[in-house]
Amino acid sequence: MTQSLTIARPDDWHLHLRDGAMLQAVLPETARHFARAIIMPNLVPPVVTGAQAAAYKDRIMTALPDDMSFEPLMVLYLTEDTDPADVAAAHASGLVKAVKLYPAGATTNSASGVQNFDKVRPVLETMAEIGLPLCVHGEVTNHDVDIFDREAVFIDRVLDPIRKATPELRVVMEHITTKDGVDYAKSGGDNLGATITTHHLIINRNHILAGGIKPHYYCLPVAKREQHRLALREAATSGDKTFFLGTDSAPHTDANKLLPCGCAGCFTATNTMALLAHVFEEDGALDKLEGFASKHGPAFYGLPVNEDTITLTKNETATVFPEKIESGDGPVTVFDPGFPVFWDVT
């Protein structure tokens, strides 16, 4: 018997669209299901100023197929030279919905990120005053900190001090991967939210490393132990409005993934909603999917819930997702959950 679920059209609160040929290829994969997305600014060079964000938004809208509707929510990449007045103007004009903090060297294209957090205090204070959220890639970069501990250590050494110094600052902990992240987000009050990716609800570190290395499961923050995946599942399916969907769909060509030093990122835009329906059903929480994917994010960002809807259908035969999508830069492998999924967006 087929089963179906209609929910308000979802949004993606953490998405990499890239630029040029890759943008052209991946944008329809998101716009097919999602109404809006928070667009990550880690291009080369990064999207630092309001003018750069306006130009990038134009390129996204130009790449959007005529028969699709989609609103990119633009984000500025925080550097030690970011001008608070430029940030305030970009927010006041309605263009920019968040500022992104990358610790320098933490992840893909983060070389221009912040090294000395004191240098960005004036920007953070301006953001707190105007209510502009800070999105955070929450990992320290110290070589003496184990990669599996970098999120928990970031919370103690960087995030908590920033929030104590600026309690009015609204913060999104992006792509949390640990129980530590879940617990900290839960206890943070209304000014703190957290996004969770689809893939971190599905894989743990064994998926990457056991039985041969699987580069397509390698992303940052790296997937952790099973106990952490279970904590993320519980948070996402709990109905707690602190937690919302940010897919972190991060396309890299297969050529760039399958290298001796391969790129970090999972490309999930194509099948995210079907995978989430599977996950939420498995946890007996289909009634919580709409909150996670369509309602808690707009509430945090002070935006309306989308008026249109999507319908998810569970079929008798497994859904066949494309193994790869083609881009002008080369093929991009679609995230494979490793089990059959019977849901699809109709």
Ligand X SMILES: NC(=O)N[C@@H](CC(=O)O)C(=O)O
| Contact of residue 42 among Zn ion, ligand X, none (CB under 5-8 Å per partner type) | ligand X
State which residue, 10 or 246, has the beta carbon closest to ligand X.
Answer: 246
Strand order from edge to edge, sheet including 171-173: 12-15, 36-39, 71-77, 96-101, 134-136, 171-173, 192-196, 243-245
Q: Distances from the Cα of 206 to the Cαs of 203, 222, 237, 252, 297, in angstroms? A: 8, 11, 23, 22, 30
Amino acid occupying residue 294: S
Handedness of CA 241, 217, 334, 262 (dihedral sign): positive
Closest-by-Cβ residue to Zn ion is: 137
Please indicate if the annotation marks 278 as binding a ligand.
no
Q: Of these, 18, 33, 137, 228, which contacts Zn ion (CB under 5 A)?
A: 137
Q: Check if 248 is active-site.
A: yes
Please indicate if the annotation marks 252 as binding a ligand.
yes
Q: Of these, 138, 265, 297, 337, which contacts ligand X (CB under 6 A)?
A: 265
Q: Of these, 57, 91, 97, 137, which contacts ligand X (CB under 6 A)?
A: 137
State which residue, 107 or 126, has the beta carbon closest to Zn ion.
Answer: 107
| Contact of residue 108 among ligand X, Zn ion, none (CB under 5-8 Å per partner type) | ligand X
Binding piece for Zn ion, criterion CB under 5 A, among 150-158, 201-209, 247-255, 297-305:
247-255
What letter does residue 306 receive in the DSSP assignment? Answer: P
Q: Of these, 11, 12, 151, 248, which contacts Zn ion (CB under 5 A)?
A: 248
**Coil, helix or strand for 28?**
helix
Site for ligand X in 40-59 (CB under 6 A): 42
CA dist., res. 171 & res. 209, Å (int): 32
Phi (first) and psi of residue 289, to 5 degrees? -65, -40
Handedness of CA 111, 115, 121, 124 (dihedral sign): positive
CB of 219 to ligand X, least distance (A): 3
State which residue, 16 or 207, has the beta carbon closest to ligand X.
Answer: 16
State which residue, 220 or 293, has the beta carbon closest to ligand X.
Answer: 220
Q: Distances from the Cα of 251 to the Cαs of 3, 10, 31, 81, 263, in angstroms? A: 31, 20, 15, 28, 10
Binding site for Zn ion (CB under 5 A): 107, 137, 248
Instruction: Provide the binding-site residues for ligand X, judged by CB under 6 A.
Output: 16, 42, 107-108, 137, 219-220, 248, 250, 264-265
